[in-house]
Amino acid sequence: MPLNRGVKAILEKISPGNERSFAFLDFSQRRFQCPFHYHPELELTLIVSSAGHRYVGDHIGRFAPGDLVLMGPDLPHMYINPPKFSGRAHSRVLQFRSDCLGVDFFQRGEMRNIRALFEKSRVGLVFSGWSRDRVAQLMETFGANEGPRRVVVFLEILQTLAEAKDFRTLASANYSPSLALYQGERINRVCELISRKFREEVTQSEAARLARMSVPSFSRFFRRATNKTFRGFLNEVRIGHASQSLLETDRTVSEVCYDSGFANLSNFN
């Protein structure tokens, strides 16, 4: 989770502690502070409160309370709150390896659907509906369980997700992370710039200066790291904001267009 901002390579090292099989973390802070990071563990993240942008691999989207995402091993991800966010950024996070209950535990026949879940999670899965609500309930009470009961709840969470029909994938099907390119400070600074200024005219030159790279070098670096051009990445952030505004507010299409950073209505349409 939160890392020292001076760290260059953003491989996160996770320790369950107390010889536990998996880590369960309950974070409540002023805002999410994670850079774009990855780790060999799978991660299930439930947003209890706050909203903002969610980056998972080459996916860009919005998150809000109730957001439930399962991310596979080594899948880069980051959550960012908007600059004017106030309140608490509260999340519950379950982190575990696919062999956390033994090298061959999930290889057994009874675990076939959970193995399939692990495979699908390699591009990130966001859940909704009954399965999301059920897992949120289980995660709320997770910390109160100890010993074998905690393992039972863990397996019930996995089984609920494995049987879920109400989910969608996040990163593109052919996404393959170039982990060597995720130099923490560079990617993090650029993503924070876009999240902070997407309503304004953000240029690739400005982002390149922030990353301390020439524009051509930055263009190649950014595309290889995110599977998107800088302009395409920026527009996806704007479209995500606009979609949420159209769904959740009574603002006119024209108002949403300009508030989302688009220069004219025809381009927005």
Give the pLDDT of residue 241: 76
Using CA atoms, how far residue 222 sits from 79, 84, 228, 231, 252, in Å, is 18, 27, 7, 11, 34
Using CA atoms, how far residue 205 sits from 104, 154, 214, in Å, is 50, 47, 8
Q: pLDDT tens, position by position, for the chain (269 residues)?
A: 333 333 232 445 455 555 578 889 898 888 887 777 888 899 999 999 999 888 898 888 889 999 999 999 989 888 988 877 888 899 999 999 999 999 899 999 999 999 999 999 999 999 999 999 999 999 998 878 888 999 999 999 999 999 999 999 998 887 776 654 555 567 777 877 887 788 888 888 998 888 888 999 888 888 877 778 888 888 888 887 787 777 778 888 888 888 888 887 887 87
Give the pLDDT of residue 48: 95
d(CA 212, CA 140): 43
Determine the residue type at 181. L
Give the pLDDT of residue 17: 53
d(CA 9, CA 6): 9
Give the pLDDT of residue 184: 59
d(CA 106, CA 61): 31
Which pair of structure tokens corresponds to residue 70?
């399962």
Nearest partner of 266 among 250, 253, 252, 248, judged by Cα: 253
d(CA 196, CA 220): 23
